[in-house]
Amino acid sequence: MNRPFRYEVFVSLLFVVVLLLPLLFSVPDRNVAVSAVEKRKLAEFPDFPRSAVTLKSFPKAFEAWYEDHFGFREAIVRAHNYTLLKIFGISPHDMVVAGSDGWYFFNADGAISDYLGRVRYNRKQLERIAWTLQNRSEWLRSLGIRYLYLPIPNKEAVYEEHLPLILRKNKGYDSYSQIVDHLRAGGRFTDFIDTKELLVRKKNEAQLYFRTDSHWNYDGSGLVYRAIVSRLQQWFPDIRPLGQKDGKKWEQGFSGDLAVLINLGGLVTETAPALNILEECDAGALQPWTRLTELPEYASFPAHRLPVANGCREKRRKAIVIHDSFGLFLRPYLSQHFAAVVYVNTMNFEDARPLIERERPDVVLDLRVARSIDRSVLPDPELEQRLLPEKFAASGPAAIRIDQSNWQDFLYKSRKTAIRETARGLELSFAGPGASVHLQFNNGRQPATPLLVRIQGTSKERQTMSLCSHLRGSRGELQRQVCEERKVQEGANQVFLRLYDPQPEEILELAAGGAGSFTLHSLEVRQESASSQGSGMGTDFSTVQGEEAGR
């Protein structure tokens, strides 16, 4: 039996409507700039072509806009992602690793690479990190301030049993463990908490990280908070840990940042612990700390990056907390203990130094998760310059002292450098980048403690000089090199350098940032004394030889 003509027309029209619906629903969405679920900028609607050149590029630009804006797109993407995840166990996003039992892990900022042991520090780098932390502690103590460093482990380091088997089989020595193990072995810097050891030991008593988020939850942060208070009590006996409310509360249907990243917020959920403390006071809402811009160093600091502050008036102490996103979970705890606490989450320690010096808090807490731990232990040459003069004066006699009377026995120069003896000292003339003078240590023994170098001289202008230490192999190949820049002012200068973990064949290089001259009055090397470090005894380092080649 033949179907009526109007039935065929109806089916045809329905088919056309279905095809056009996504396009029709794209039009109202034309000005949406950012995807609410994908957290990324969407392609913009292209301008209509007005020339042959723009006409050629218009189809591709329109296609990119349409792919980002066609109707029902987000619903279709969510359905696709949910199918991949729940049926096939495949993460729909490269930045998220799907684990077992509903656990998800962050695969960005080198987190998984770090778990696999692909981030390796050599001994010199680890020594440099330890000294960086020790420098901070010593500088703060000179101001009457305590310092507590808090490295936080990545989620996969605590809950590795939920990672895919292929990752667990290839587990390596992660950066957190390298740094903490070195700090423990060295015994020099001890003002830190091994939060990984604590979290791993206690994880069977409660879930300490979110399953659907890259961060710890309030049970995890609460555990570390109590460890912080325990350490603070050694310095400030009046600080006591907060109690807990009767009956634990939970947040139902929580979707963390990883669920949102795979576009499944609200579909991939978990039950998470809510904050559970007995508040002793009303700390008030966190407010932007506008006093920061009163300091010249922060006069143009962007308003959206300002630190925030609150506190309890009835308390007596002040704190500054330098932290990343993990520190957000510690704020409700810490705010109860201080009359004023400033939370700095847009600066590293070296950037916050003027703020610390101005406010003079009782304690500085410095917190950073392992996947970005490098940014929390950056060398701070300016701070070291403040500390080394006193350490240099407290160290033993000079292992070597070079001036215009004996420089030919110790120094050699590059082809771009000229050395001329004058009544005031050795005039070093640098022709440009690459120009340098070298001093080689060659006594066949490795010093037990760092070497301190003091360079005294005069400059006719402001300039930047590089102080490098490098080690070459038996064939002359460069094995390692560490360089630091020092600002040289017009007139008299005194520049210091600490050589961490010096090797018998180490070479010290003084290089110019550009063409210029510097009159060297003396270059003196001393072995840092045990008393100036606070630990250990040093071995004499009294023989230094020059190298004939290259003079």
Helix (H, G, I), strand (E, B) or coil at 270: strand
The number of distinct structural domains making up the chain is 2
Q: Does the residue 185 lie in any domain?
A: yes
Distance CA(123)–CA(485), nearest Å, equals 21
The CATH number of whichever domain residue 398 belongs to comes to 2.60.120.260
Considering the domain boundaries, does residue 354 fall inside one? Answer: yes
Q: Which of these three, 378, 402, 434, is where a domain ends?
A: 378
Instruction: Give residue 447's pLDDT.
Output: 66
- State the Cα–Cα distance between residues 119 and 109, nearest whole angstrom: 12
> Do 370 and 445 have their domain in common?
no
Cα gap 97→325, rounded to integer Å: 20
Are 373 and 498 found together in one domain?
A: no
Q: How far is CA 543 from CA 398, 401, 440, 444, in A?
A: 10, 11, 11, 9
In a domain, 71, yes or no: no
371 and 432 part of one domain = no
Q: What is the pTM for the complete model shown?
A: 0.81
Q: Classify residue 529: in a domain, yes or no.
A: yes
Q: Are residues 141 and 269 in the same domain?
A: yes
Residues 475 and 353 in one domain: no
SS3 readout for 64-126? HHHHHHCCCHHHHHHHHHHHHHHHHCCCCCCCEEECCCCCEEECCCCHHHHHCCCCCCCHHHH
> Within this chain, do residues 421 and 475 fall inside the same structural domain, yes or no?
yes
211 and 178 in a common domain: yes
DSSP state letter for 549? T
Residue 306 lies in a domain: no
- Both 427 and 333 in one domain: the answer is no
Strands 318-322 and 146-152: unpaired
Same domain, 352 and 467: no
Predicted pLDDT at 501? 75
Each residue's pLDDT tens digit, 501-543: 777 777 888 888 788 899 999 999 898 886 655 433 233 333 3
| Tokens (6 digits) for 346 | 């847009």
Name the domain boundary from 327, 355, 378: 378
Spell out the per-residue pLDDT of the chain, length 551, in tens. Answer: 555 666 677 767 766 666 555 555 555 444 555 555 455 577 777 777 777 767 777 777 777 766 665 555 566 666 667 676 777 777 888 999 999 999 999 999 899 999 999 999 988 889 989 999 999 999 999 999 999 999 999 999 999 999 999 999 999 999 999 999 999 998 889 999 999 999 999 999 999 999 999 999 999 999 999 999 999 999 999 999 999 988 889 999 999 999 998 989 889 999 999 999 999 999 999 999 999 999 999 999 999 999 999 999 999 999 999 999 999 999 999 999 999 999 999 999 999 999 999 999 999 999 999 999 988 998 898 899 899 999 999 988 887 888 888 888 888 888 899 999 998 899 999 998 888 898 876 655 666 678 899 999 999 889 888 888 877 777 777 777 778 888 899 999 999 988 887 777 778 888 887 888 999 999 998 988 866 554 332 333 333 333 333 33
CB 508 within 8 A of CB 441: yes
Q: Is 37 domain-assigned?
A: no
Determine the Cα–Cα distance for residues 92 and 311; give it in Å rounded to an integer: 43
Q: What was the pLDDT predicted at 90?
A: 77
Residues 318 and 413 in one domain: no
For residue 234, what pLDDT is reported? 96
Same domain, residue pair 429 and 331: no
Q: Please check whether residues 365 and 392 belong to one and the same domain.
A: no
Residue 190: give the domain boundaries: 121-282+312-378
What value, to the nearest 5°, has the Cα angle with vertex 128 and ends 120 and 387? 165
Q: Does residue 31 belong to any structural domain of this protein?
A: no
Specify the pLDDT at position 15.
67
Do the domain assignments include residue 426? yes
